[in-house]
Amino acid sequence: MPHLPLASFRPPLWGLRPSWGLARPRALCTQPEPHGSPVSRRNREAKQKRLREKQAALEAGLAEKSKTPAVPTKAWSHKEVVLYEIPTRPGEKKDVSGPLPPAYSPQYVEAAWYQWWVREGFFKPEYQARLPQATGETFSMCIPPPNVTGSLHIGHALTVAIQDAFVRWHRMRGDRVLWIPGSDHAGIATQAVVEKQLWRERRVRRHELSREDFLRAVWQWKQEKGGEIYEQLCALGASLDWDRECFTMDAGSSAAVTEAFVRLYDLGLLYRNRQLVNWSCTLRSAISDIEVESRPLPGRTVLRLPGCPIPVSFGLLVSIAFPVDGDPGTEIVVGTTRPETLPGDVAVAVHPDDPRYTHLHGRQLRHPLTGQHLPLITDTTVQPHVGTGAVKVTPAHSPADAEMGTRHGLTPLSVIAEDGTMTSLCGDWLQGLHRFVAREKIMCTLRERGLFRGLQEHPMVLPICSRSGDVVEYLLKSQWFVRCQEMGDRAAKAVESGALELWPSFHQKSWQHWFAHIGDWCVSRQLWWGHQIPAYRVGGEKAEVSENQLSAGEPQSG
């Protein structure tokens, strides 16, 4: 078979367009087809026709050669807004005897109906039970209570619309339907919003007020925002039983929280213990795991943090020398991304099989700041190929170090306070300083003493408080915890056995992973706004209420 010229080649699939997955090579499109396809021929003829008409118009003087013929634009007219202006008292039935507007007007159609529906009790299960088509079955549902911190958004509207469709369908079937409205006090979020408002309007902080004055301001905020939320739900036409409306800080809800707390305690599922928690120095409270954002940093990153007077650099690995006691010139270099916790170090750890340090096992090191003796311990969790293979152990400010400290019987030292300043354990030269200001002072001191061994970029993950934007600190606090391991195992087995079905099924993997790594749930919050934990400290003849709070409406995580 003779070789054909490339330009004369035609692909065998004539009807297959390039957009369907077969594109001609660029070389095959370099020369025009002799006859062209019918579509391209028609387009070419139409274009030539338009050019001939334009030329004829120019020659006839009907258009100027320098101007493009004007393209007619569509004139948009605003639709007339028709209002329902027939005098009708709130709750009275709407007068529909007159003609409807010529065009749909929501303001006219929606007016007056909702108040009449509510007054007649159409949304109450007692009314539906009296209807002739009543089935005797019950369908009840609670609206996911929106937070009182703001207005509803599109997510709320979508949820309400779907739920409203469900309850109206069940009413048409003849079921007794109860759809309960309500709102959530959102303890930590509401307190933060009101604190910002007080500072913005009155230049006062929460701790400058009495607890009663602050709670009075929060209740005022709730009345304003809660009323706006309910008005929005009514405007959506949500068929809710408003006589049963509830708020998570109502007396009934508070009693339910107390009952749940006591039952969990009696079952051994609730306990108080001093252990590490996620702490927001800006909010002055413990926060849940899902309120902590893990922000990956590729290297050196400068951040501005709330309450910190200077910009702070993260994503840096600082190398610090710990001299070996009694052996001048011998040292172990430790890498850390948190030099501000150096005053809280109680040991240095290496892997037991790391040949670089086997001859130093059991030796004592000297703390680079205080000169105190620190033990060199061995632990298999240390990764010898990361950094220098030696890590400083700070049990009071690191979850991993806390576990290591427990295994080796180390006493933790808390060197960062609740407000993010350095504690008295750090000495007079650091006490009261912001922790990141103290970081810079510690670095300068290490350089002066000749114990600074370098600085390099280091990718890391930084825990950030999702509510305040501050860096989360791990602090040792006496808090209340719910035991979650047994409940998590039961939830995982329910899906494995098929007793609980997840749809779509690919969510099973996330479900099993979540419960396989679940930890105990910290339910304490250091709040003024929220349910008070029903636990008391007895001292003599007077019982003191626990300072911790339980924010039942806040998102929590095991």
Q: What pLDDT score was predicted for residue 29?
A: 36
Q: Tell me what the mean pLDDT of segment 104-122 comes to.
A: 92
Note the helical H segments in 60-123.
106-110, 113-120
Which residue has 């979850």 as its token pair?
A: 399
Distance CA(332)–CA(346), nearest Å, equals 15
DSSP 451: -
Distance CA(336)–CA(343), nearest Å, equals 13
Mean pLDDT of the chain: 85
* 537 pLDDT higher than 70: yes
Domain 299-458 - what CATH class?
Answer: alpha beta
Q: How confident is the model at residue 45 (pLDDT cuts 50, 70, 90)?
A: confident
Residue spans in the chain of domains classed CATH 2.170.220.10:
265-292+476-550
Domain 106-249, architecture per CATH: 3-Layer(aba) Sandwich (3.40)
Under 8 Å between Cβ of 362 and 348: no
Domain 265-292+476-550, architecture per CATH: Beta Complex (2.170)
Under 8 Å between Cβ of 376 and 330: no
Instruction: Give the dihedral sign, CA 66/69/74/75.
Output: positive
Q: Which residue has the higher pLDDT, 544 or 351?
A: 351
Closest of 343, 388, 387 to residue 368, by C-alpha:
343
Q: Which H or E run contains 442?
A: helix 435-448
The pTM for the full model equals 0.74
Residue 314 to residues 142, 246, 459, 462, Cα–Cα distance (Å): 45, 46, 9, 8
Closest of 68, 111, 78, 65 to residue 92, by C-alpha:
111
The 3-state DSSP class for residue 38 equals helix
Under 8 Å between Cβ of 346 and 410: yes
* 554 pLDDT higher than 50: no
Radius of gyration of the chain (CA): 35
Under 8 Å between Cβ of 283 and 465: yes
Beta strands 473-482; 138-142: pairing state = unpaired
Q: Which two tokens stand for residue 548?
A: 């911790």
Under 8 Å between Cβ of 102 and 125: no
Q: Which residue has the higher pLDDT, 59 or 483?
A: 483
| pLDDT tens-digit series, residues 270-305 | 999 999 999 999 999 999 888 999 999 999 999 999
Distance CA(195)–CA(285), nearest Å, equals 14
Closest of 556, 536, 554 to residue 546, by C-alpha:
536
Q: Tell me what the mean pLDDT of segment 220-224 comes to.
A: 85
Q: How confident is the model at residue 480 (pLDDT cuts 50, 70, 90)?
A: very high
Q: What pLDDT score was predicted for residue 418?
A: 95
Identify any residues that bridge with 331 across adjacent strands, giving them in sequence order. Answer: 323
Q: Which residue has the higher pLDDT, 62 or 146?
A: 146
Q: Which two tokens stand for residue 25?
A: 């090579």
Residue 135 to residues 132, 170, 351, 452, Cα–Cα distance (Å): 9, 10, 71, 80
By CB atoms closer than 10 A (0-12, 13-18, 19+), residue 482 is middle
Residue spans in the chain of domains classed CATH 3.90.740.10:
299-458
| pLDDT tens-digit series, residues 312-321 | 999 999 999 9
Distance CA(409)–CA(411), nearest Å, equals 7
The 3-state DSSP class for residue 551 equals coil
Q: How confident is the model at residue 51 (pLDDT cuts 50, 70, 90)?
A: confident
Under 8 Å between Cβ of 323 and 365: yes
Under 8 Å between Cβ of 458 and 315: yes
Could you write out the three-class secondary structure of 193-251? HHHHHHHHHHCCCHHHCCHHHHHHHHHHHHHHHHHHHHHHHHHCCCCCCHHHCEECCCH
Distance CA(307)–CA(313), nearest Å, equals 15
Which residue has 């391991």 as its token pair?
A: 485
Q: Out of 342-351, 368-377, 537-546, which region has the weakest mean confidence (pLDDT)? A: 537-546
What's the angle, vertex CA 550, arms to CA 549 and CA 551, rounded to 5? 115
Single-letter amino acid code for the residue at 128: Q
Q: Which two tokens stand for residue 258?
A: 């107390």
Residue spans in the chain of domains classed CATH 3.40.50.620:
106-249
Peptide bond just before 355 cis, omega within 30 deg: no
236's CB contacts (< 8 A; 6+ apart) are: 157, 160, 161, 164
Q: What pLDDT score was predicted for residue 343?
A: 96
